[in-house]
Chain A
């Protein structure tokens, strides 16, 4: 049989992942870790600083960087070697992201989920909100839909399995929990996550000068606002005058 992969082999990281004839991945870990994600973002940054001819796009995810290339300009084998060299050459890995503060109207159309979550956790709704708003989250990756942010840093108490049956439509801006991850929904669509509230800010708006609000590596804090404040902000967001607060460090 041709090219039968060898299961059970010891895996050492980083390693190369073959993704067909136009993409190659460098994987740093099999689990979610901030270190692995920083390595991914650092390798990605190196490709911006010192580009490789033939590289078309890069996709940083939790623990791997996938590089799309043009085989007419560079072969995957040579590209993989270059990427492995960069991945293993060490050096300081810097935290680069911004620290952003998102206002959240907890409850609202998501009150039922919030109530259920409180019951499951044997907490009051106020305690669930306080717990969610106390943490600092990190954008591990953008994926699944335009601008959709996968966040790490959800307090363990709030880790909750996804719904068995996804719901058909969850609005943009909804703040969700899926397993050990948190998220900010970016476009309306089906979802099996549980939701605590919503932010008036739009993670994706193709008509904006900068269509994407956050990027991998950014850190996020949430703070609660009431229904009136949310409504005011909705208006400002629609008018293009709302500004997301960046916290200086």
Chain B
């Protein structure tokens, strides 16, 4: 019989996410997948899953869960209090959750996106090659919706349950959020660029899995704020007529009609997405060559972290 995970209490924006839905952006299908791919991959690795396995993502507030079979669980993404049947346990390591016990996950402190991975992974039917939920278009996940109290999710089978912890710490970096100018960098004049790169921006409450709206110096496109729609990517910084930049994240749409001043580099997009509302930061422009180098290094760091999990005593 298939083992089941039950959502005893759901948090806001709680969805099933895996490594993402690839190969369909040309058909208008967003990539989706975890907003914080690294934290999601590490949670999976800690419970012995493939890093791209389907797990639960939540925003700010966790929830509680139980399984009808002994499983390994791990919570990552940021600092938060978690308990198994009332006993406090640590984030960023895996624990045995015995059949019928309750895993309670509290609120994230200092970050926004959290992950609960369960050994065996969530095995709902994939849609277009992925189990990730895209809420706006209702693709994937459980009927394309966010998870609700009482939902039960099938989970895969697991071999021996051996809890693990990180041998190499996972560090997110600090400093300015790095961007590569373009594709419509020439829609913005020297004054707009100077303000964009020298004044701080603030993360606002207007954010979800698709995008984050920033507040800061009004970013004006002297060529206008409408382009003939072209492709967007993860990290695209769109600038609508309001002058408030919009950064596209995991569920971002595939095309858009606003000029894009720059793209947040892959290795900094997660850090930006994890900043709570009210956080202030600066942008720094770097070359695409440098950004590629940083992406490669970040991937190597993640591989090193996942490759150095230690059995807990």
Interface residues of B in 174-215 (CB under 8 A from A): 180-186, 188-190, 193-194, 197
For residue A11, which residues in chain B have a CB less than 8 angstroms away from its CB? Answer: 186
Show the binding face of A for B, using Cβ within 8 Å: 1-7, 9, 11, 17-25, 27, 30-32, 56-64, 66, 68, 71-72, 75-77, 141-148, 150, 186-187, 189, 204, 206, 211-212, 215-216
Shortest distance between the CB of A17 and any CB in chain B (Å): 4
Q: Chain B interface mostly helix, strand, loop or mixed?
A: mixed
Chain B residue at minimal CB-CB distance from A61: B230
B265:A145 contact, CB within 8 angstroms:
no
Q: Which of B137, B234, B235 contacts A189 (CB 8 A)?
A: B137
B99 within 8 A of A: no
B25:A57 contact, CB within 8 angstroms:
yes
B285 within 8 A of A: yes
For residue A1, which residues in chain B have a CB less than 8 angstroms away from its CB? Answer: 193-194, 197
B288:A20 contact, CB within 8 angstroms:
yes
Quick one: CB contact mask for B221-244 with A, threshold 8 Å, 1 for yes? 010000111110111100000000
A150:B229 contact, CB within 8 angstroms:
yes
Assuming the contacts A20-B291, A30-B228, A64-B231, asked whether A146 and B299 have C-beta atoms less than 8 A apart, the reply is no
A146:B139 contact, CB within 8 angstroms:
yes
B167 within 8 A of A: no
Q: Chain A interface mostly helix, strand, loop or mixed?
A: loop
24 chain-A/chain-B pairs, Cβ below 8 angstroms: A2-B197, A5-B182, A6-B186, A7-B189, A17-B182, A17-B184, A20-B291, A21-B294, A21-B295, A22-B295, A25-B183, A31-B228, A59-B231, A59-B255, A60-B26, A64-B231, A66-B231, A66-B233, A68-B233, A76-B289, A142-B27, A144-B254, A146-B29, A216-B26
For residue B288, which residues in chain A have a CB less than 8 angstroms away from its CB? Answer: 18, 20-21, 24, 76-77
For residue A187, which residues in chain B have a CB less than 8 angstroms away from its CB? Answer: 137-138
Assuming the contacts A7-B188, A71-B295, A206-B127, asked whether A19 and B236 have C-beta atoms less than 8 A apart, the reply is yes
Assuming the contacts A59-B231, A71-B296, asked whether A5 and B26 have C-beta atoms less than 8 A apart, the reply is no
Chain A residue at minimal CB-CB distance from B127: A206
Assuming the contacts A76-B292, A144-B28, asked whether A2 and B231 have C-beta atoms less than 8 A apart, the reply is no
A20:B235 contact, CB within 8 angstroms:
yes
Assuming the contacts A7-B222, A59-B231, A68-B233, asked whether A20 and B264 have C-beta atoms less than 8 A apart, the reply is yes
